[in-house]
Amino acid sequence: MPLLFHKVVLHVLSLPIVNMIKSTTYTYIAALLIAAITMLSCNKDVRTFTDMHFSFVFDETQERLDNLGNPSTLPVGHAAQTPEFSLMSVHYIELSQDAFTPFKDGNILYMAPETDAGGESAINFDSSLLANENTDFLKVNLERLQPGTYLYARVSVAYQQYTVDFNLNNIPIVGNLPNQRGAVASFIGYRTYIGDLKIENLTTTINANKAQGFWGFETLFTDGLADYNAIYTGQSPAGATTVVNPIDATSPVPAGSCVITGAFSEPLIINGDETGELYISLSFSNNQSFEWVDTNGNGQWDIDATNPENTESVTDMGLRGMIPSWEWK
């Protein structure tokens, strides 16, 4: 490439009009042109930047785990169902080298915006990155991941949106409406500031900080009952949200943080000279992840339209484990 340009410039200098001018200025410019072209064409070390891509998977067949990563069964008097996910957002992503790496001493790759609009610092729901499964919700430059071997991912889940089955009872004039479908807006981050909350079709104004376990629920009646759709809200008990951490004995996370820890399906090794794109999939277990106190023992979630105190209390909306995996493309 440089030889070709040298020949072109020398040819230009040999033209009659150039020989007539005999200008030192032209000769100087030509020399600069040759030098610049040579430098550009010989630069074989031009850097190309690669990225990490993060996506969700919601797996209803993935094992249902407890806080310590052990297989979990339902407490006596409780019921649960596997919700159908539509959206989720996370507040924090960290990759950790091993089971002894303290929380926040790994490679922190993402932190969602926060706000003090509600008083104390909280996750800013209006700025959250909401995504469905199998779509890139975040792209991070690979240079931010230091060379090394990573065994664990730690992800703080902030928000979940999904549909569940329910019975609506004691509706004035109408009576009971069994086997209905509704949408849940589940806030399981440590604290979230919510302005206007739109779940599916309806909106309710919150304008406040809400603690972990706050939820909104929109009925999804159709046909002649659509006019009766409404939003209900509630709060699960403090400390009741499951946060799976199989390395709690050596690397605990703060209570109420909802930082789920999961081991990579195989270790992620970064050498620092990778050239492809890194795709990291975060597979979450939503196996019976919506849990409530089943006061009447029918195994169904019952909402009382007339007497809210008779509505069966939602106790736990925490995801039941995470398996991160990776692939170079």
* Per-residue pLDDT of the chain in tens (329 residues, 90 and over written 9): 444 334 433 343 344 434 443 444 444 444 544 444 444 444 444 445 699 999 999 999 999 999 999 999 999 999 999 999 999 999 999 999 999 999 999 999 999 999 999 999 999 999 999 999 999 999 999 999 999 999 999 999 999 999 999 999 998 888 999 999 999 999 999 999 999 999 999 999 999 999 999 999 999 999 889 988 999 999 999 999 999 999 999 999 999 999 999 999 999 999 999 989 999 999 999 999 999 999 999 999 999 989 989 999 999 999 999 999 999 99
Side-chain-side CA neighbours of 323 within 13 Å: the count stands at 13
Separation of alpha carbons 8 and 30, rounded Å: 11
In this structure, the number of other CB atoms found within 10 A of the CB of residue 148 comes to 15
Q: Classify residue 299 as left (phi > 0), alpha (psi -120 to 50) or beta.
A: left
Q: Which helix (H) or strand (E) element contains residue 39? A: helix 24-42
Separation of alpha carbons 150 and 145, rounded Å: 10
User: What does 177-196 look like in DSSP terms, one character per residue?
Assistant: EEEEEEEEEEE-SSEEEEEE
Of 93, 91, 141, 102, the C-alpha closest to 270 is 141
